[in-house]
Amino acid sequence: MQVTLIVALVLHILSGVFWAGTTFVLARTGGSQADRFFRPQMGAATMAVVTGGLLWYLLHRGGSGTQEHILAVGALCALIAAGVQASSAQALRKLSAVGGSDEFRPSHRVATSQRIAAALLGITVVCMAAARYA
């Protein structure tokens, strides 16, 4: 139980840090090289959501207090962020097909989706960090 909890928390934080961190960078650079990050970001998002669900099961199953409300807001923002990023998959595929992002600027759509996802993941990080002490 304790080992499962520690492993889940470490994987959750590692994947969350990678996902949010790369999203913040891509939001700042207007989505430059976003095509290279798409798969790792979606992989990290999947890992963060799955381990987050496991942590919820282990620590907050059946709970409906302030902590759970704050965590739920953070989780919802993370899920929307994943959807927003996934929705630019087609634009990123086109970008890769025309020769890679070194020579071609990412589309406005890709840059906007990274900015929206960054704002949402910012809320997620605040909620996740604050929930324990609420």
Which residue stretches of 87-107 are H helix? 89-97
- Residue whose C-alpha is closest to residue 1's, from 57, 52, 50: 57
Position among 27, 34, 49, 92 found at the interface with ligand HEM (CB under 6 A): 49
Position among 26, 27, 34, 48 found at the interface with ligand HEM (CB under 6 A): 48
Position among 26, 55, 70, 91 found at the interface with ligand HEM (CB under 6 A): 55
- For residue 5, give the amino acid letter: L
Position among 59, 86, 89, 123 found at the interface with ligand HEM (CB under 6 A): 59
Q: What is the DSSP string of 35-65?
A: HHHHHHHHHHHHHHHHHHHHHHHHHHTT--S
| Contact footprint for ligand HEM (CB under 6 A) | 12-13, 16, 19-20, 48-49, 52-53, 55-56, 59-60, 71, 75, 78-79, 121, 124-125, 128-129, 131-132
